[in-house]
Chains A and B, each alone.
Chain A
Amino acid sequence: MVHLLVEISRFTLIIFFAIYTYDCFAALKPKISAKRQRRIYRRQTALLFMILFNAYAVILAVTMDIRILLLFAAEIVFFAVTIGVYQFFYPNASRSLVNNMCMLLAIGFIILTRLDLDKAIKQFIIACAAVVITCFIPVIVAKLKGLQRLTWVYAVVGLAGLAIVAVAATPEYGANLSLKIGPLSIQPSEFIKIIFVLFCSSMLTISTEFKHVVKTTVIAALHVLILVASKDLGGALIFLVTYLAMLYVATRQPGYLFLGIAAGVVAAIAAYFMFAHVRTRVIAWKDPLSVIDDAGYQVCQSLFAIGTGGWFGSGLYQGMPNKIPVVSKDFIFAAISEEMGGVFALCLIFVCISCLLMFFNIAMQMKDMFYKLIALGLATMYGTQVFLTLGGVIKFIPSTGVTLPLVSYGGSSLLASMILFAIIQGLYVLHMNEGEMHESIKKKKRK
C-alpha cells in the first residue's frame, strides 16, 4: 500500500508542479487581466500547499516518524504566515516572487527531509529566522536613501570578510569557505556577494569615467583574486560575471564586456594549467566514467541518479540519492531529479528562469541608476549561481561546487538568498509605490 502511494505520488507531484510552472509564465502573458492574474497567483499558492501535503504524506507513510507530522504542520504555518505577511504589509510586493521563493523553499524542505531529517529541521529553523530578518528589508530598501553613500564601507567589509575567510577558514571539499564560530559555521562569502553588488552599484552610479572605472575594477578584481586564492572557483566566477554585467550596463560600452570576457578566458586557461584541482574538474567533466574511482565519482553518481530516475523519477525513498557526495548542498538537484523525476527537475529549472526574468524585468523598470544596477547585479548573481550549480550537476559544464539558492542545505546560503529576494522585493515595492504616486498626481492634474 505504501508503495502504491509512492507510485501515485510520482505522478501527482509532477502534475502539481508542472501546473505551477505553467502558471509562472501564464501570469506573464501580455494583456492578461488583473483578475485573472490574481486567480493564477492564488492557484499557485494552493499548488504549493498541495505539493507539500502530498510529499509529506509519502514521507510519513514511508518513515512512520511522528516528527515528520510536526515538521509538516510547522511548515504549513510557516508558509501561510510568510505569504500572509507579504500580502498584508506589502500589498505591492510581487506575488509571483513570493510564490516562487516559497516554492523553492518547499522543494528544499521536502528533499532535505527525505535525505536527512536533522538537516531538514535545522534548515527549517534557519528559514524561520531568515523570514523574520528579511521581512524588514523591503521597508529598509524603500525608505533608506543613504544606501548609496556607503560605497567604501561595502568595499572594506567585503574585502576584509573575504580575506579573513581565506586565512582562517576550515577547508571543506578542497575550498576554504566556512568560518567556525562556536557551534556555528558560516560562509561569509554568501553575504559578501550581496555587499559586492551594493559596492559596484554605488561606484558605477557615481561615475563611469575611465579613471573611476579602473578604480572600481581594481577593487572588484581583488575580491575575485582572494576567492581564487581560497580555491573557491565557483565563487570567483560568480563575482567576475556579476561585475562584468554591471560594468557593461553602467558604461554602455561593449568594449569593457569583451575585454572582461577575454580576461576571464585567459584566466581560466591559466587556472587550468596552474591548478591541479581545476584540471581534475575538467577531466571529470569531459569523461567522468574514465575517472569514476576518484575525480569523476561525484558527477557519475549524480548522473546515475538522474539517469536511473528518468523522466518520472523513482518516487520518494525509492532511489539512492545519499550515494552522491554532498547531495544536500551542491548536488541537491540530482536528488530531486532522481526521486521526483526529470520532468519535475525541468520544471524547477523553469521556475528559476521565471525568477530570473522577474529580476531582470525589475532592473529595467527601475528609474534610478543605483537601484537599476542593484537589481541587475543581484539578478546576474542569481542567474550565474543557478547556472553553475545546475550545469555542474547535469555535466553541462564542469562542476564548480556552488549551492542552489533557497533549495540547497546551508544556513548562510539560505539566509543570503532570502536577503537577495527581499531586496528585489524592496525595489519592486518602491517601483510600484512610485507608480501609484505618479498616477495620483496625474489624476489631480486632470481635475
Chain B
Amino acid sequence: MKASKRKNENNKKLYDISMMDLDDASYEKSRKGQGKRKQVAGKSNNREFAVITYFFLALFICMAGYFIYFITVRSEDFINNSYNARLSTLSNYVTRGRILSADGEVLAQSFTLEDGTEIREYPYGATFAHAVGYSVNGMAGVELDGNFNLLRSNSFILERVIKEIKGEKNQGDDVVTTLDVPLQQAAYQGMGQYNGAVIALEPSTGKVLAMVSKPDYDPNTVAADWDQLISGDSTALLNRATQGLYPPGSTFKIVTALSYLEQNENYGSYTFDCSGSYEVSGYEIHCYHNKAHGQENLLQAFGNSCNNAFANVGLLLNPKKYISLTDQLLFNQPLPTKLSNVKSSSFTLTENSSSAEIMQTAIGQGNTLVTPLHMAMIAGAVANGGELMEPYMIDHSQNDQQEVVKQFYPESYGTIMSSDEAAVMEEFMRYVVTDGTASALNTDRYTVYGKTGTAEYNSNKNDNHSWFVGYARDAYGKEIAIAIIMEGAGSGSSHAVPLAKKCLEAYYR
C-alpha cells in the first residue's frame, strides 16, 4: 500500500518537474539529493534537451495550425475540383438543392419522380444557361461552383434523422446567387439573334449581376441534346463571358489612355490634329469611316474614339511601362475570381515590337485578346476608385428554413490603378457619354461612364464586333459595371450601346 503511494508521488513529481517546467533551475532543484550514479561531465543540465523539445513542439503546433487553416480556408479550392470524385456519392443521400437569384427567384430546382429518378428543372430555360450551368454530363456555372453546397443538407437535425430512418433523401441546401433576374432577362433578350456576351458586376463588391453568353442551350434538355452540343461546329457550351477571347477594339483605349496618364503628368497639354489617316514608317491607320476629327486633346480623342490620335499616343509611350501596366491590369495571367472556367486575356507587345504593331495595339487591334469579364473588371475598378473586387456569383447557401449556412463575402484583389488615375479615367469615360460615341446613354436618372468599341476581326473592314464597356451610378450610389460584345453586329454605337441602355433601364427599374 505504502509502496504504491510512494510510487505515485514519484510519478507525480516526474510530471511536475520536467514536463511543465523545462528550464534549468527546476531541473537542478530536482536533482538535489538524488542518488549519484555515473554523473555526466560534472554539471548536467537540460537546456539542450529543452531547446530540442520546444523546437519540435513549435513545429507540430505550426503543422496543426496549417491543418486548421487548410480545412477552413484552402480546402474549397480542392473540394470543388472536377477530379474530386467524392461529391457524387453525396447525391445518394441528398436531393440537390435549389439555385436562387439574389431576390429569391428559383433558377434551378430538383424534383423526384414516383419511380425515384431525380429531375432538374430550370424555370428560366436558356436565359440563365451559362450563369447557372448544368449538372448532367459534367457540370458548369453555379451548378459546378456550388456543387458542394448544393449536395450538403443542413435542414433541421430531427427532420434529417426521421428521413434517415425512413430511408428518404434529405433536402440539400439552396444556393443563393448574386444574379438579378430583370437585368439578366433584359441582357438576354437584348442580344437578339447575335452571338456574344454580356457581363455585369457590382463594382464595390464584385458580385456578378448578369451573365449572358450566346449561342446558348436549354439546360432542361442538356442530356438529350448532348451529342449535338458537343459536335464539332457547336460552341453553345462555351461561356463567352468568361472564356471568349475577343480583340478589344477601341475599348482598349482605356488601357492606352491609362498608360499615358501614368507616364505623363501634364496629359492635359496633349494635342493631335486628326486628318482621317495617320502614317508612320509606311504603316497607315484610319479613323472609323476615315473621319477627320481635326484638332483634339486627349479627352476629345478618347471621346471621339480617334484611332489616329491613339496610334500616336501609343508611339509616345515607354513600351516597358506600357507592358508593365497591362501586367498590373492582369493581362496574361489568371483573373482573380471564384468563378471557374475563366480564360486569361493576352497582350503580346514587347520592347522590340515594330511601330506598326504598337500603333495597332494602342487602338485595340493587333494581337491583343480580352474576355468580356476582364473588361468589366477593369471598368469596375475605375468605378471603384482603382480597387478591384474579385467577381463571384454565389452569395450564400441556406438550409430549407432559409437559415444561412455559408456566407461568401466580397474579396478585394487590391488596387490596379491609383485613385487619381481612376478619377481622370472617370472623367474621360463620362465625356464619351456626354459628348462622344455613347451619347445615347445620357440620361438624368443615372450617370453613365463608358467606352465603345468596334473591333475588326478579319480582313473585311465591314465585319466588326460591337463593344461597350463602362459603368453607371445613380444618386443613391447604386452602381453597375458592364461589358457587352455582339459578334459581327457592327459599330459599338449602333448595337452594344442600345443593349447597354436596355440593361441599365432594367437595372435602375
Partner-B contacts on A (CB < 8 A): 1, 3-4, 7, 27-35, 37-38, 91-92, 205, 208, 245, 248-249, 252, 289, 292, 300, 303-308, 310-311, 314, 318-320, 323, 342, 345-346, 349-350, 352-353, 356-358, 360-361, 363-365, 367-369, 372, 376, 379-380, 383, 386-387, 390-391, 394-396, 431-432, 434-439, 441-442
Interface 9-residue window, one of B2-10, B273-281, B364-372, B462-470: B2-10
Q: Taking A37-B11, A372-B40 as given, write out 18 further A-B residue pairs in contact, using a Cβ cutoff of 8 Å, ordered by the A residue number.
A: A7-B164, A28-B20, A30-B16, A34-B5, A37-B8, A37-B12, A92-B7, A249-B49, A307-B70, A323-B86, A342-B71, A349-B64, A350-B64, A353-B60, A364-B53, A365-B14, A369-B40, A379-B56
In angstroms, Cα B49 to Cα A245, docked, is 9
Are B60 and A387 touching (Cβ within 8 A)?
yes
Is A304 a contact partner of B86 (Cβ separation < 8 A)? yes
The residue that B19 contacts in the complex, of A28, A92, A292, with Cβ under 8 A, is: A28
Chain B at the A interface: SS class: helix
Q: Is the CB of B67 within 8 A of A345?
A: yes
Which of the segments B74-82, B95-103, B322-330, B433-441 contacts the partner chain? Answer: B74-82
A-B pairs with beta carbons under 8 A, tally: 197
Q: How large is the interface on B (under 10, 10 to 19, 20 to 34, 35 or more residues)?
A: 35 or more
A323 in contact with B10 given A394-B66, A396-B67 (CB within 8 Å): no
B75 and A306 within 8 A (CB): yes
Within 8 Å by CB of A438, from B16, B35, B67, lies B35
Q: Which 10 A-B pairs have the closest CB atoms?
A: A307-B75, A34-B8, A369-B40, A360-B53, A304-B84, A249-B48, A307-B78, A4-B164, A438-B35, A308-B86
- Write out the residue numbers on chain B whose beta carbons fall within 8 Å of the beta carbon of A342: 67, 71
Taking a contact as CB atoms under 8 Å apart, the answer to whether A390 and B63 are in contact is yes
Chain B neighbourhood of A35, CB < 8 A: 8
Query: Is B29 part of the contact surface with A, judged by Cβ < 8 Å?
Result: no
The reply to whether A3 and B8 contact each other, CB–CB distance below 8 Å, is no
Chain A residue with Cβ nearest B56 = A383
B60 with A32: CB separation less than 8 A: no
26 A-B residue pairs with CB within 8 Å: A3-B164, A4-B161, A28-B19, A29-B15, A248-B48, A249-B49, A249-B52, A303-B70, A304-B79, A304-B86, A307-B70, A307-B71, A307-B76, A342-B67, A342-B71, A352-B60, A361-B15, A361-B19, A368-B38, A380-B52, A390-B63, A394-B67, A396-B67, A431-B14, A432-B14, A438-B35
Q: Which residues of B contact A314 (CB under 8 A)?
A: 86
Tell whether, in the assembled complex, residue B22 and residue A364 are in contact, meaning their CB atoms are under 8 Å apart.
yes
Nearest-CB residue, chain A, relative to B9: A34
- Identify the closest chain B residue to A8 (Cβ): B161
Assuming the contacts A349-B60, A367-B34, asked whether A303 and B52 have C-beta atoms less than 8 A apart, the reply is no
Contact (Cβ within 8 A) B60 A28: no
CB distance from B76 to the nearest CB of A (A): 7
A438 to B7, CA, bound (A): 11
The docked-state distance in angstroms from the alpha carbon of A364 to that of B13 is: 13
Chain A nearest Cβ from B352, distance in angstroms: 30
Please determine whether A432 and B7 come into contact, CB atoms closer than 8 angstroms: yes
Contact A346 B67 (CB under 8 A): yes
Given A292-B83, A356-B60: A437 and B35 interface contact (C-beta under 8 Å): yes
Residue pair B35, A364 in contact (C-beta under 8 Å): no
Verify if B46 is at the interface (C-beta below 8 Å from A).
yes
- The reply to whether the CB of B193 lies closer than 8 angstroms to some CB of chain A is no
With A307-B78, A311-B71, A360-B56 already in contact, the answer to whether A436 and B15 are too (CB < 8 A) is no
Cα distance A353–B59 in the bound complex, in angstroms: 10
CB of B89 within 8 Å of the partner chain? yes
Q: How far is the CA of A436 from the CA of B57 in the complex (A)?
A: 31
Q: Do most interface residues of chain A lie in helix, strand or loop, or is the interface mixed? A: helix
Q: Which of chain A's residues have a CB closer than 8 A to the CB of B60?
A: 349, 352-353, 356, 383, 386-387
For residue A27, which residues in chain B have a CB less than 8 angstroms away from its CB? Answer: 15
Interface: B315 (CB within 8 A): no
Give the shortest distance, in Å, between B51 (CB) and chain A (any CB): 8
State which of B10, B14, B59, B78 has its C-beta within 8 Å of the C-beta of A304.
B78
A3 touches B93 (CB 8 A): yes
Contact A320:B89 (CB < 8 A) given known A249-B52, A353-B60, A396-B63: yes
**Chain A residues, CB < 8 A from B6:** 436, 439
Q: Are B12 and A367 in contact (CB under 8 A)?
A: no
Q: Is B38 within 8 A of A369, CB to CB? A: yes
- Chain B residues with CB under 8 Å of A358's CB are 19
Which of B11, B40, B84, B86 contacts A432 (CB under 8 A)? B11
Q: A4-B165, A367-B34, A437-B35 are in contact. Are A308 and B84 (CB under 8 A)?
A: yes
A252 CB to nearest B CB, Å: 6
| Chain A residue contacts of B44, Cβ below 8 A | 367, 369
How far, in Å, is A184 (CB) from chain B's closest CB?
34
Check B68 for interface membership: any CB of A closer than 8 A: yes
Contact status A435-B89, CB under 8 Å = no
The CB with the most chain B CB atoms within 10 A, among A1, A7, A435, is that of A435
Report yes or no: A289 in contact with B77, Cβ–Cβ below 8 A: yes
Partner of B10, one of A91, A367, A386, A432: A432
Q: Are A30 and B15 in contact (CB under 8 A)?
A: yes
Within 8 A of A (CB), among B430-486: none
Inter-subunit contact A252/B48 (CB<8 Å):
yes
Q: How far is it, in angstroms, between the C-alpha of A431 and the C-alpha of B7 when the chains are bound?
A: 11
**Does the CB pair A31–B16 fall under 8 Å?**
yes
- For the complex, give the distance between the alpha carbons of A222 and B476 in Å: 75
